[in-house]
Amino acid sequence: MDDTHAVNALSALAHPLRLQVFRMLVATAPEGVPAGTIAENLGVAASSLSFHLSQLQQAGLVTATRHQRFILYATDIGATRELMEFLTADCCDGRPELCGRPGLAPTCDTTKGLSRP
């Protein structure tokens, strides 16, 4: 993942409703959720929700799959993992045990430290 992709993903999540949608989809992963169910659970109009789902899709965080007459929305687990790894790649100067969650930064590179002033 590069900086541009990360900024796009984080920008998509920087809206309260999109963040709620994303968290709902993460909680129900890997199964998809129909847009109507998302709208009902979050108390939002379907027309408004469709715009926000589109933003999450464009950022690569959410997928949409037609299932019979419904479109199921789901978290793109691979893209979400990639974003998390990108954000935590330099966690605690290559010492992920300091992050407070084992396994949070599985890609820590202990050979690459942050420059200190």
> Which residue blocks in the chain are alpha helix, DSSP H?
3-13, 16-27, 35-42, 46-58, 77-88
pTM for the whole structure: 0.79
What value does the mean pLDDT take over residues 24-48? 94
- Kindly state the DSSP code that residue 101 receives in the 8-state scheme: S
Structure tokens at 66: 């037609």
What average pLDDT does this structure show over 76-88?
92
Structural domains of the chain, with CATH: 3-79 (1.10.10.10)
39-74 residue pLDDT tens: 999 999 988 999 999 999 999 999 999 988 989 999
pLDDT of 4 strictly over 80:
yes
> How many other CB atoms are there within 10 angstroms of residue 32's CB atom?
20
C-alpha distance from residue 82 to each of 53, 58, 86, 92, 112 (Å): 20, 16, 6, 18, 19
Could you say which DSSP state residue 44 is in? -
